[in-house]
Structure formats: structure tokens, C-alpha cells
Chain A
Amino acid sequence: MLRATLVILWPSFVAAGIGISIIFTLIDPMELVVLGEHIRASRTTIYSLGFFIIWAIAALAAALTSFLQLGRNPGPRELGGGGNGADRSCPP
């Protein structure tokens, strides 16, 4: 279970990293209007919080994907793509 959690968290972490860089390069958080008001936090806070929000969403998607996969496949080993040595990414 813990392994599944990390397999979900890590790729979504990378995705959040790329996502946050793209979003906040294009948008200045100081110009964001949330619910009709300018945000009053510092940029650092917004970047950091933004990162965690995107990470959470990406992790949610990854979790759902692996949950759906789990239903179709015989065992939880498939979740991480194996690890039993039988699953070889290199050509034989």
C-alpha cells in the first residue's frame, strides 16, 4: 500500500513541478483575482500553495488511474508495473 502511494506521489510530484513552472511563468500570481479579490499573500506563498494544490490534483488522477487498473489486473504487483523481474523494459 505504501509502495502504491509512493508510485502515485512521485510522478504527480514531477507533473506538479512542470505544471507550476508553466502556469506561473505565464501568469503573475499578483494579478490573479480569486473570488473577485486580489490575493493578499506573497508570491512565495502562492507558488508554494499552488504547487501543493496541483500536486494533490495530479496525485488524485494518478490514484484513480491505478485504482481502475487494479480492478482489471490480477494483483497489486501490477500497480508499479511489477518488480518481479518478469517485467522487462529492455528487449530480450
Chain B
Amino acid sequence: MPTNPNVIPIAPAPAPISPPPNGDGDNEQALYEVRKKIYPRAVTGWFAKWRWAMVFLTQLVYYATPWLVWNDRQAVLFDLTARKFYIFGIVFWPQDFIYLAVLLMICAYSLFLFTAVAGRLWCGYACPQTVYTEMFLWIERAIEGDRVKRMKLDDSPLSASKFGRKALKHGAWIALSLWTGFTLVAYFVPARELVAMAVEVRIPPWETFWIMFYGFATYGNAGWMREQVCKYMCPYARFQGAMFDRDTLIITYDPTRGEPRGPRSKSADYRAKGLGDCVDCGICVQVCPTGIDIRKGQQYECIGCAACIDGCDQVMDKMNYPRGLIRYATLNAVDQHWGWRDMVGRVLRPRVLIYSSVLVIIVAAAGYTLWHRVPVKVDVIRDRTTLAREVGDGQIENIYRLQVMNTQERTQRLKISASGIDSIVIHDLPQLVEVGPASSKLLPVAVRVDADKAKKGISRIEFNIVAVDDAGRPAPDVFSIHEKSAFYKP
């Protein structure tokens, strides 16, 4: 949380506020371009509260999830070495690949939908880049002070106290980054084991590598590159323009109300002097994490964080002007002086309706199939070495391998039979096949048919798998699976 809700000076900003957006920050040779280092001023207000609420929410979910327990195991675990994904009560196998695709589609369409309705909500409130930058900035503020102090510190020659502060800041950043990397790996290797290994300093090399890799990425992106990631590296920042239209809710400055801008004393009748509501204090530019001037109109650099709204609203309050010189509005609304009613009335337009119906259909279909998921999967593989052979008493035998996977976390008892040809039997299978919780079994199966019953060549057959309870009766949540295969008679 911003440490010092600072007093906002209502004085004209030093001459050209922009293009060099943040006053006289030093020219820093940043990672990959010479840029003006941006020192965002801390801001408090309604949207800042929301932004922090989202930081807490997303990070609580991110850092806490690996520690949740379910069925005596980690609740959410992507066990790559065993190729099983545990998500609370459900175990996903590679065969559930479709759900991965569905998940990607849901993410994409939600993003389209949100963007069409309210612009860069994702960027402003939920994107890890924004969230970690916010957290890193908080640390920076706590250690180095607010904007002006930070600028002074950076300008000052190296001294013991400067070095101490910088070292403390980077130390805190690195600690947070490492914990972030550790948490990421804890989604793939059980968190508690990982801690035990960390205590004994024996985390395996790849795990160590990924902790460092993700930690370094966090440190670099949130500590050093910040807004440059959004400006130059993020593909979404570029193509989100395609999902915008004139009815999309974005952060706008109201030029009819604000212009002509200019400094004035609080008591003066500024309207008589022909001035608009903007006092040209530059606060909106100083709080902007990407260092742009929203008063110049829509710019692709704007991540929609609403810091400038909070900043400007405070100024408006000071001046006793109505709030909302900078506000969430649509381009149509600003041009045509619409209120909220007109804007809300334009939300349901074809683009939004299409995105939402596709989204609803995908979610409903995924939910339905998940709900009706059969807890056992069977793959039938024909033995490739011998196609068929004759066995005693005039029978033809084909060999198959049944891969039976139990996706539930309790043992399944299964009755397996074959059908499709008269006299078909499975020769050598026990009455009941048991498959342990969340595991799979490979069963070699010999299927026999009386030679005179099968036609020459290939006949369709089916394997039938029925779940039964301990007594051999069909299980309460009964299911049966029918897997097709082929029987070959030479």
C-alpha cells in the first residue's frame, strides 16, 4: 500500500510536462534502450484500492495454492514426471488433452470479451507484470521513499547510505523473486518435499534452475524493465486495439471540460479567464507507470491502471471541482457527452454478444463433459507381432493389450468382456480386474473365437468394461465403456 498519502501540490508543473514525462529523472541506460527512468508517484484512491485488492487476491491464490491439501495430497499439483495433473478432486491424464485446449480457448475468449467491454482491465489489475511491478514499487517506496526522494537518491553520488538502501532494496526484491520462483516450481514438485529438499540443500538441478530462471525473470521484469515490457514486448498490448471500438470503456481525459488548461489560484474565477478545469498540475503524468500524458488522447502505452483517475480526482477535490476530468468512459461518450446510462445501453453490441455466446457455449460444454466424465479410460492396442494364430479345439486367437486408466482416487473393480462375434471369449483374464487409485494397468488379453463362427478377414469387435462393487454387482455410480477394435482371421 502506498506508504505516504502525500499532499498533492497544486502548482504548475515545470514547463514541458511532456514528452519527457516525468520531470528530470536521470537518463538511465536501461536493459535495452536509453529511456527516461520513470518514477511513478504513489497514488491513493478508489481505483488504487481496487488495484491493491487484486494484488492481494491474485497473489494469495498464487502463493497459497501449492500448500492446500486434498485427499492427503497436494490439492493442485502438475505432476509432470508421472504425467498426471491433480486439481482438487479431479485427476487429469494426457488423454484429457482436450481440456487443455478448452482452457486456452476460455482464456482467449474471456480476454476478448473483457477487452471489448472495458479495455485493458487485465493489464491494469490482473496481469502479473502489473501486479509484480506494483509489489516491487511498494518495496522501493518503503526503502527509498516516494518519487522525489527516489529521484534525489539516484542523482546523489554514491555514499554508504545510498549503497545501503540500494542493497536493501535489491535484497528484498531478490528474496521476493526467489520465493516466486520457488512457488512456481512447487506447482510441479510437491511443495512440502521441495521445502524439505531446500532445507537440506539438495534441490535437484533442474528444479534449482527453474526457480532461478523464474526468479530472475520476475526480478528483471518487475524491478528493471517494468513499463517497457508492456510497451515493447507484450503482444497483447499491440493486438488489443483490434478488439476495441468506440463503445469500449477506456480511461479518457475530457478535453471539452479540461481545456484550455492552465494554472490558476483557487479563488480566481477561472471560467471568466477562459480556462477549463485542468489546472495543468501534471499529477496525472507523474503517477503514470508508463510515463504518458493521458491528456494527449488514447495511446497504446496506456495500460488502463486508472492511477491518473485517482490522481486527478484528488486535485479536483482540492479545487472543489467535480471529479471525473479523467475517468472511465467510451470514446463515443466523451465526444457526445453521454452519461453512464447511454454507455451502459451500448454494452450489448454484436461484438460483445458474439464473444459472450461463444464463451458460454465453450464453458457449458466443458462443464458438461467434466461432470459426465467416465472415471476409467481404456485404450485397446492390437499386438503387432502376431496377427492371429490357431489354438487347440479349432479356435482363432488374437492378442491385444488393454491400457486401463483409473482417473479416480479410489480403486476400481472392472469386469471386462468382449462382444461382436458369436462364441467370442477372453481366454485368460481374471473375473475382476483391479486398478488402483489414479493409476493405470496394462493387460495382455487373448481373445478367442470358434474358427467357423468368424468370417475371413477383419471383423469388428468391442471390449466392454463395466465397473462393479466388491460383491461383483454393478457399482453404484455405474458406468460401462465400449471400446471398438478389430478381430482378424487369416
Q: Nearest CB to that of A10 among chain B residues?
A: B233
Who on chain A is nearest to B99 by CB? Answer: A25
Cross-interface CB contact of A80 among B31, B232, B292, B299, cutoff 8 Å: B232
Asked whether A37 is an interface residue with its Cβ less than 8 Å from the other chain, the reply is: no
Total residues of chain B contacting the partner, CB 8 A? 41
A47 to B82, CA, bound (A): 12
Q: Which A residues are CB-close (under 8 A) to B238? A: 81, 89
Contact with A along B84-110 (1 / 0, CB 8 A): 000000000010010010001000000
Residues on A with beta carbons closer than 8 Å to the beta carbon of B170: none
Q: A7-B232, A21-B100, A44-B81 are in contact. Are A91 and B299 (CB under 8 A)?
A: no
> Contacts A89-B238, A91-B246; is A6 near B300 (CB within 8 Å)?
no
Tell me if B137 is interfacial: C-beta within 8 Å of chain A: no
Contacts known (A21-B100, A45-B206); A3 close to B232, Cβ less than 8 A: yes
C-alpha gap A25/B299 in the complex (Å): 40
A1 to B33, CA, bound (A): 8
Q: B331 touching A6 by the CB < 8 A rule?
A: no
- A35 interface residue (CB < 8 Å to B): no
Given contacts A26-B97, A85-B299, A85-B301, contact A90 B241 (CB under 8 A): yes
Is A42 in contact with B81, judged by CB distance below 8 angstroms? yes
- Note all chain B residues with C-beta closer than 8 A to A28: 83, 94
Q: Contacts A7-B233, A25-B97, A90-B244; is A2 near B31 (CB within 8 Å)?
A: yes
A89: chain B residues within 8 A (beta carbon): 237-242, 300
B32 partner, pick from A6, A11, A14, A87, beta carbons under 8 A: A6
How many Å lie between the Cα of A85 and that of B291 in the bound state?
Answer: 12
- Using A28-B94, A80-B232 as known contacts, list a sample of 16 further A-B pairs with CB atoms less than 8 Å apart, ordered by residue number in A: A4-B32, A11-B235, A22-B100, A28-B83, A44-B80, A44-B207, A47-B80, A48-B206, A48-B209, A81-B232, A83-B232, A89-B237, A89-B241, A90-B302, A91-B298, A92-B298
Chain B positions near chain A (C-beta within 8 angstroms): 19, 31-33, 80-81, 83, 94, 97, 100, 104, 204, 206-207, 209-210, 229, 231-235, 237-242, 244-246, 250, 292, 296-302, 331
Can you show 21 pairs from A to B with CB atoms below 8 A apart?
Answer: A2-B31, A3-B32, A6-B32, A10-B234, A22-B100, A25-B94, A25-B97, A25-B100, A28-B94, A43-B81, A44-B80, A48-B210, A80-B232, A80-B233, A81-B238, A85-B19, A85-B299, A89-B237, A89-B241, A90-B299, A90-B302
